[in-house]
């Protein structure tokens, strides 16, 4: 999308080569102020247990694990010529009714979320945004605003400001956030010491010719960072918006400037020069392209995962797995601030996971073992918890059910990545009553009820067609809306806790680990809280 925003559609037409560019009687889950502990998760309103996104910036882009699922081979993606890119803009801002403001906002948000996807705020906090005089610079201003709200510390270098209201408004928005504007003269010659990320939002796809002052000097300063790369020293990463500034929109770095950004965020569709981009991170942003444009230009674009505003193009860089690590930044979790009852503490953290819109906060790893100690783990969904334990449902013929029949002890692990938290629960397991299982079964969507009947869980089947055919057969049988009977081999389990551990990630691997274990004081059962070494 960018620098496709012309200040007016007529300008775009006249100057197409120029742009700046739980228990059955439990009460429903309620607010934090309530102290009720009977929480049937299956009674949550639709969407509460399965939010689409997190309030933390890392989920704007759905994280690498989701984006990786939609990575495209660069040869399978469409690339636009300069003329095609200009024509796309004309159509967007003409018959399709988009405004410059809308497109610029989408572009800047796409750039910010792409950056947040790769360069985490706890390691790459200081950002310099170098903005050109046109729409590409406007994208940079919008990206800076979003990055500020994501927790980064942006600074702006905007040498040639335009008086147009759109850009003046963006400047005002940034000034109201106390984002500093730095003149070219005040920038250090060596940018490596003051910044972790530098955003190149100088020239867009309509730029041609040689960069003029002061932008030629600024681009040269970005080129000089190559020395740090070659010496394998820490250096600021450079992110280019739509095309690397100074590159020919179709032929790439024909002037041999040696400008090699680390990330390229293509907008709407990649431009031809992107084929010559060999940096480690290439993203596509601008999730708005209408089907009519896709059809007209025969575009092949990767699908965007979930609610993401960006998607990776090509393979991610090869990394040293041993070097993968994250330095957790979290509030301290200390003994003086915890609940005396671990169920109360779990409920508090669970409510906070829901409030943070984490994806499936009720997902948990269930670990079981056979009578001879052979372990196995799988992810299941918590469907209720109260003072009597944690409940989930499954097929009584599954592997986990066989394990529990031999060895009725298990452990649960909740991992809430967005909050840097884990909870481990260990205890004994028994089946819930047939009445509870019946009630929950009929609270499920009819498709899920049929699926439970169709699937001989953990058994070998001849193929997916076997399940689909059985499902369709049952779907026809109960098409009149009649009650679907719960199979005898399906129901719930309840783990009665004997030990809890609450884990909060902290810097330098000095994590907080508080363990609850039962003890007896004056004939009364209480929970003892002890700190474990990380």
pLDDT digits (tens, 9 = 90+) for 358-416: 999 999 999 999 999 999 999 999 999 999 999 999 999 999 999 999 999 999 999 99
- For residue 71, is it within any domain? no
Question: Is the confidence at residue 115, as pLDDT, over 60?
Answer: yes
Annotated catalytic residue within 378, 509, 513, 531: 509
Share of the chain above pLDDT 70, in %: 85
Count of Cβ atoms closer than 10 Å to residue 446 Cβ: 13
- For residue 419, is it within any domain? yes
Residues 359 and 290 in one domain: no
Rounded alpha-carbon distances, angstroms, from residue 503 to 413, 508, 514: 11, 15, 7
- For residue 309, is it within any domain? no
Higher pLDDT, 326 or 184: 184
For residue 119, the domain's CATH number is 3.40.50.10260
Q: Output the known binding site.
A: 135-139, 200, 204-210, 242, 245
- For residue 57, is it within any domain? no
- For residue 1, is it within any domain? no
For residue 438, the domain's CATH number is 2.30.110.10
pTM, 2 dp = 0.61
Residues 254 and 362 in one domain: no
Kindly state the helix (H) or strand (E) to which residue 377 belongs, with its residue range: strand 375-381
- The per-residue pLDDT for 33 is 34
pLDDT tens digit string along 284-316?
998 889 999 999 999 999 999 999 999 999 877
Question: Is the confidence at residue 39, as pLDDT, over 70?
Answer: no
- What pLDDT band is residue 318 in, cutting at 50, 70 and 90? confident
Residues 281 and 340 in one domain: no
Q: Which of these three, 276, 294, 312, is where a domain ends?
A: 294
| All residues at 6 or more sequence positions from 132 whose CB lies less than 8 Å from its CB, including other chains | 20, 21, 140, 160, 201, 202, 203, 204, 215, 245
Q: Output the known binding site for (6S)-NADPHX.
A: 135-139, 204-210, 242
Cα 181 from chain centroid (whole Å): 30
Q: Which of these three, 244, 277, 294, is where a domain ends?
A: 294
Residues 255 and 146 in one domain: yes
Residues 237 and 380 in one domain: no
- What pLDDT band is residue 34 in, cutting at 50, 70 and 90? very low
- The per-residue pLDDT for 230 is 62
2 is catalytic: no
- What pLDDT band is residue 68 in, cutting at 50, 70 and 90? very low
pLDDT tens digit string along 12-22?
333 333 333 34
Which range, of 65-79, 201-215, 390-404, 435-449, averages the lowest pLDDT? Answer: 65-79
Asked if 184 and 221 count as a contact pair (C-beta separation under 8 A), the reply is no
CA distance 263 to 240: 6
CA distance 119 to 125: 9
Higher pLDDT, 252 or 61: 252
Question: Is the confidence at residue 31, as pLDDT, over 70?
Answer: no
Average pLDDT, the chain: 85
Question: Domain span at residue 168?
Answer: 76-294
- Total count of domains within the chain: 2
Average pLDDT over every residue of 481-510 = 96
- The per-residue pLDDT for 192 is 84
Q: Output the known binding site for K(+).
A: 136, 200, 245
Q: Which of these three, 274, 294, 314, is where a domain ends?
A: 294
**Maximum separation of any 2 CA atoms in the chain, in Å:** 89
Residues 152 and 231 in one domain: yes
Question: Is the confidence at residue 337, as pLDDT, over 80?
Answer: yes
462, two tokens: 């001849």
- What pLDDT band is residue 38 in, cutting at 50, 70 and 90? very low
Higher pLDDT, 65 or 474: 474
């Amino acid at each position: 999308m960018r620098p496709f925003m012309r200040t007016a559609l007529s300008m775009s037409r006249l100057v197409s080569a120029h742009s700046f560019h739980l228990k059955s009687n439990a009460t429903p889950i309620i607010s934090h102020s309530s102290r009720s502990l009977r929480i049937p998760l299956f009674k949550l309103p639709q969407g509460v247990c399965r939010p689409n996104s997190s309030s933390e910036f890392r989920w704007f882009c759905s994280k690498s694990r989701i984006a990786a699922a939609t990575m495209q081979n660069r040869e399978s993606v469409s690339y636009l010529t300069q003329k095609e890119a200009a024509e796309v803009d004309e159509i967007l801002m003409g018959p399709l009714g988009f405004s410059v403001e809308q497109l610029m906002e989408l572009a800047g948000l796409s750039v910010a979320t792409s950056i947040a996807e790769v360069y985490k705020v706890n390691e790459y906090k200081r950002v310099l945004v170098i903005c050109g005089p046109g729409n590409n610079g406007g994208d940079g201003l919008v990206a800076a605003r979003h990055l500020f709200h994501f927790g980064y510390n942006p600074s702006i270098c905007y040498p040639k400001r335009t008086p147009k209201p759109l850009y003046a408004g963006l400047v005002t928005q940034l000034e109201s956030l106390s984002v500093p504007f730095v003149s070219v003269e005040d920038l250090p010659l060596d940018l490596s010491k003051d910044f972790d990320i530098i955003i190149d939002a100088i020239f867009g796809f309509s730029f041609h010719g040689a960069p003029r002052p002061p932008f030629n000097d600024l681009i040269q300063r970005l080129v000089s960072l190559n020395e740090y790369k070659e010496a394998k020293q820490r250096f600021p990463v450079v992110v280019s918006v739509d095309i690397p500034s100074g590159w020919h929109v179709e032929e790439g770095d024909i002037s041999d400037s040696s400008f090699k950004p680390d990330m390229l965020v293509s907008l709407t569709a990649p431009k031809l020069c992107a084929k010559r981009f060999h940096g480690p991170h290439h993203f596509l942003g601008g999730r708005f392209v209408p089907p009519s444009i896709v059809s007209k230009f025969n575009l092949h674009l990767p699908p965007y995962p979930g609610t993401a505003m960006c998607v990776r193009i090509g393979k991610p860089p090869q990394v040293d797995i041993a070097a993968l690590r994250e330095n957790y930044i979290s509030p301290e979790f200390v003994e003086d601030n915890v609940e005396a009852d671990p169920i109360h503490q779990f409920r508090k953290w669970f409510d906070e996971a829901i409030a943070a819109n984490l994806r499936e906060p009720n997902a948990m790893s269930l670990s079981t073992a056979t009578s001879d100690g052979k372990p196995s783990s799988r992810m299941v969904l918590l469907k209720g918890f109260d003072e009597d334990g944690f409940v989930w449902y499954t097929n009584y013929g599954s592997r986990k059910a066989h394990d529990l029949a031999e060895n009725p002890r298990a452990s649960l692990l909740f991992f809430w990545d967005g909050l840097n938290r884990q909870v481990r629960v260990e205890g004994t397991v028994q089946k819930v009553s047939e009445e509870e299982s019946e009630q929950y079964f009929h609270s499920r969507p009819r498709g899920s009820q049929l699926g439970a009947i169709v699937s001989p869980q953990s058994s070998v089947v001849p193929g997916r067609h076997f399940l689909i055919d059985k499902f369709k057969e049952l779907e026809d049988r109960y098409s009149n809306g009649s009650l679907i009977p719960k199979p005898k081999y399906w129901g719930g389990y309840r783990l009665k806790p004997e030990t809890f551990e609450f884990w909060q990630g902290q810097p330098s691997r000095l994590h907080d680990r508080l363990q609850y274990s039962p003890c007896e004081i004056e004939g009364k059962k209480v929970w003892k809280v002890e700190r474990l070494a990380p």
